[in-house]
Amino acid sequence: MPDPKQPYTPAGWHSRGYLPHFDGGEIPQFITFRLADSMPQELLDRWREELSSEQNVNVDAALRKRIEILAVQ
């Protein structure tokens, strides 16, 4: 528990072993996440089919990359 007598010092980037955290003090932060069923299944099926027809492609990794690109648009 933090000592209330000590001034607050932001920790910056740190990790507890599974997710990186940024403690920037007064810096506003947000996260974006997508629920598993928020992408239309027809689109995911079409992308899987397109990716499976390509050679030397990790379908799962390429699919995640497409979803991430769409999420930031």
pTM, whole model, 2 decimals? 0.49
Residue 22 is encoded by which pair of tokens?
């940024």
User: Measured between alpha carbons, how far is residue 16 from residues 19, 20, 58 in Å?
Assistant: 7, 7, 29
pLDDT at residue number 12? 84
Euclidean distance between the first and the last CA atom of the chain, given in angstroms as a whole number: 40
Per-residue model confidence (pLDDT) at position 1 = 61
Task: Tell me what pLDDT residue 50 has.
Answer: 93
| Selection from 27, 40, 30 nearest residue 67 by Cα | 40
Q: In this predicted model, what pLDDT tens digit does every residue of 5-64 receive, in sequence order?
A: 777 777 888 887 777 888 887 878 777 776 767 788 899 999 999 999 988 889 999 998
Per the DSSP assignment, residues forming a β-bridge with 12 are: 23
